[in-house]
């Protein structure tokens, strides 16, 4: 009997549910078996073809003609009539970098390359550090707190506002709208909630359209100005619709994921006392520790692709029109690439091979910023919060999402430093 038609394989596939509490907590034992027995399979529960091996994921990411990103994040289900009615006020389609293929992707990516250039990002170091320290000043004398809610959420949120050029005071509002946008993608929430989110989505579009119009009249030194399309008097070779959608996506992509890197990474480190001490003694270990954190606890569990022709992947036939779920979370634990993959090892030589930022043409364009924010966050938290530790009386709480991995709450304590 082959692995493909084994009964245990079928049971395994039926049990696959990344949103079930035990698989939110620790999905990795299941992936070990999936990679061996059913590396590519159809999940009827999610109507997705799931890809679990590192090499198969890499093959998908390299072949953008066979595996398209267009519409990859669109809701599968037809929206409720009430939701559809509200969304008539929005653009008919959401068109952003991550959901495009060449040549559109090449054209838009060039604008992002300039907007998020290494020089522009490196110049932000002092302001990122000042922001991190300002947040820590707000709670350092408390001796305990929630590292995600009080720090990991706010730091990237403020920085993406600065980068875009919108007021930090708008961050909470934008975050609410960004959550609305995410909720609409799955179309599984109760109708009242979907209706509310549709209003939020329309408001977010309107917000960025107005900001782009302001920039077209009065350019500034910010990312929104670089996104102003030529049709509005700007320099970006894209339509108004593309500029608005990309500004919206940048806000979403630019904060939640880095929040999870800081929260998930700190959870790993605080659970490994010897490695925690090593990093404190030698902060030059932080960059590789960040890569290992991204490997072990990837903030994006997986991403989607549309199959454009009948094809074969990992020996499995997949029909045209199928939607793939390429699971970075599993690829990052593939034993053929990462020896002893469940071990968290800040000195791991091959850590940087992880798939947490994707691969190929869609490789995360915000990776340099995420790495910089992550490094500064760990440098400042570990120096300013002495004896930082997890709280035993309050559990850390993970977010139960199909696509995203991370903590909503990370209760910690530290020794209150003497006031200077």
Nearer to ligand HEM, 225 or 257 (CB): 257
| CB closer to ligand HEM out of 174 and 365 | 365
Compute and round to an integer the Cα radius of gyration of the chain: 22
Cβ contact 66:178 at 8 Å? no
What is the C-alpha to C-alpha distance for residues 373 and 121, in angstroms, rounded to an integer?
Answer: 10
- Judged by CB under 6 A, which of 64, 197, 225, 258 binds ligand HEM? 258
Closest residue to ligand HEM in the complex (CB): 366
Q: How far is the CB of 217 from ligand HEM (least distance, A)?
A: 25
Residue 54: which of 324, 336, 348, 304 has the closest Cα? 336
Is 94 strand, coil or helix?
A: coil
**DSSP-derived 3-state class of residue 218:** coil
The DSSP string of 300-355 is B--EEEEE-SSEEETTEEE-TT-EEEE-HHHHTT-TTTSSSTTS--TT-TTGGG--
> Which of residues 57 and 86 has its CB atom nearest to ligand HEM in the complex?
57
Q: How many of the chain's residues bind ligand HEM (CB under 6 A)? A: 25
Could you say which of 153, 325, 357, 414 contacts ligand HEM (CB under 6 A)? 357
User: Is residue 97 at the binding interface for ligand HEM, with CB under 6 A as the rule?
Assistant: yes
**Which residue, 198 or 253, is less far from ligand HEM as judged by CB?**
253
**Lookup: tokens for 41:** 């399979």
Region of residue 358 (phi > 0: left; psi between -120 and 50: alpha; otherwise: beta): left
Residues 6+ apart with CB under 8 A from 327: 31, 50, 51, 52, 57, 301, 302
> Which residue is listed with tokens 């939607």?
323
* Residue 261 in contact with ligand HEM, rule: CB under 6 A: yes
Taking CB under 6 A as the binding criterion, the range among 37-45, 131-139, 365-373, 399-407 that sits at the site for ligand HEM is 365-373
Site for ligand HEM in 102-161 (CB under 6 A): 109, 112, 116, 160
Q: How far is the CB of 166 from ligand HEM (least distance, A)?
A: 13
The values of phi and psi at residue 36, to 5°, are -80, -45
CB-based contacts of 340: which residues, under 8 Å, 6+ apart? none
Nearer to ligand HEM, 328 or 414 (CB): 328
Segment near ligand HEM (CB under 6 A); pick from 21-29, 253-261, 267-275, 411-419: 253-261
Establish if 289 lies at the interface with ligand HEM (CB under 6 A): no
Taking the least distance from each CB to ligand HEM, the nearer of 83 and 115 is 115
- Tell me if 141 sits within 8 A of 201, measured CB to CB: no
Query: Does residue 253 touch ligand HEM according to CB under 6 A?
Result: yes
The footprint of ligand HEM on residues 366-385 (CB under 6 A) is 366, 369-370
Q: Which is nearer to ligand HEM, 174 or 356 (CB)?
A: 356
The phi-psi region of residue 64 (left if phi > 0; otherwise alpha if psi is between -120 and 50; otherwise beta) is alpha
CA distance 321 to 318: 9
Task: Indicate the residue among 38 and 354 with the shorter CB distance to ligand HEM.
Answer: 354
Minimum gap (Å) between residue 210 Cβ and ligand HEM: 21
Closest CA to 151 of 399, 404, 398, 382: 382
Per rule CB under 6 A, is residue 227 in the interface with ligand HEM? no
Name the helix (H) or strand (E) containing 280: helix 273-281
Interface with ligand HEM by CB under 6 A: which range of 231-239, 307-315, 351-359, 381-389? 351-359
Interaction between residue 358 and ligand HEM (CB under 6 A)? yes
Q: Which is nearer to ligand HEM, 205 or 297 (CB)?
A: 297
Told to check if 356 binds ligand HEM by CB under 6 A, we report: yes
Among 299, 314, 406, 411, contact with ligand HEM (rule: CB under 6 A): 299
User: Among 382, 362, 411, which Cα is nearest to 289's?
Assistant: 382
> Should residue 351 be labelled a site residue for ligand HEM when binding is judged by CB under 6 A?
no
The SS3 of residue 144 is strand
- In angstroms, what is the minimal distance from the CB of 391 to ligand HEM? 25
Q: Does 200 bind ligand HEM (CB under 6 A)?
A: no
300 to 329, contacts with ligand HEM by CB under 6 A?
300, 303
Q: What are the Cα distances from residue 324, in Å, to 43, 230, 247?
A: 10, 35, 26
CB 284 within 8 A of CB 355: no
Q: Rule CB under 6 A: choose which of 227, 307, 365, 377 binds ligand HEM.
A: 365
Q: How far is CA 273 from the centre of its chain?
A: 27
The contact set with ligand HEM (CB under 6 A) reads 69, 97-98, 109, 112, 116, 160, 250, 253-254, 257-258, 261, 299-300, 303, 356-358, 362, 364-366, 369-370
């Amino acid at each position: 009997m082959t692995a493909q038609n084994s009964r245990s394989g079928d049971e395994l596939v039926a049990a696959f549910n990344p949103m079930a509490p035990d698989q939110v907590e620790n999905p990795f034992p299941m992936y070990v078996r999936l990679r061996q027995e059913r590396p590519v399979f159809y999940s009827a529960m999610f109507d997705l073809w799931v890809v679990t091996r590192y090499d198969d994921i890499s093959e998908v990411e390299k072949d953008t003609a066979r595996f398209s990103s267009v519409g990859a994040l669109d809701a599968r289900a037809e929206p409720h009539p009430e939701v559809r009615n509200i969304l008539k006020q929005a653009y008919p389609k959401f068109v952003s970098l991550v959901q495009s293929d060449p040549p559109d992707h090449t054209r838009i990516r060039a604008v992002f390359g300039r907007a998020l250039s290494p020089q522009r990002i490196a110049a932000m170091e002092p302001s990122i550090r000042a922001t991190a320290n300002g947040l820590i000043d707000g709670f350092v004398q408390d001796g305990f707190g929630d590292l995600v809610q009080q720090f990991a959420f706010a730091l990237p949120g403020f920085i993406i506002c600065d980068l875009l050029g919108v007021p930090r005071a708008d961050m909470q509002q934008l975050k609410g709208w960004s959550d609305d946008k995410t909720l609409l993608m799955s179309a599984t929430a109760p109708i009242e909630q979907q209706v509310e989110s549709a209003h939020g989505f329309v408001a977010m579009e309107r917000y960025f359209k107005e900001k782009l119009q302001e920039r077209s009249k009065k350019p500034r030194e910010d990312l929104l100005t670089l996104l102003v399309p030529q049709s509005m008097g700007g320099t970006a070779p894209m339509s108004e619709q593309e500029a608005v959608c990309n500004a919206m996506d940048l806000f979403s992509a630019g904060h939640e994921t880095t929040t999870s890197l800081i929260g998930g990474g700190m959870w790993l480190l605080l659970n490994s006392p010897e490695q925690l001490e090593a990093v404190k003694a030698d902060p030059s270990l932080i960059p590789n520790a960040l890569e290992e954190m991204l490997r072990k606890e990837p903030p994006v569990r997986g991403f989607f692709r549309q199959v454009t022709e009948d094809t074969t992947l990992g020996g499995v036939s997949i029909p045209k029109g199928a939607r793939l779920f390429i699971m970075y979370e599993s690829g990052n634990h593939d034993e053929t690439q990462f020896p002893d993959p469940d071990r968290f090892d800040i000195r791991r030589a091959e850590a940087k091979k992880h798939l947490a930022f994707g691969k190929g043409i869609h490789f995360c364009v915000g990776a340099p910023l995420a790495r910089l924010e992550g490094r500064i966050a760990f440098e400042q938290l570990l120096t300013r919060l002495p004896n930082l530790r997890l709280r035993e009386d309050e559990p850390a709480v993970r977010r139960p999402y199909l696509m995203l991995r991370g903590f909503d709450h990370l209760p910690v304590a530290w020794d209150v430093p003497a006031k200077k």
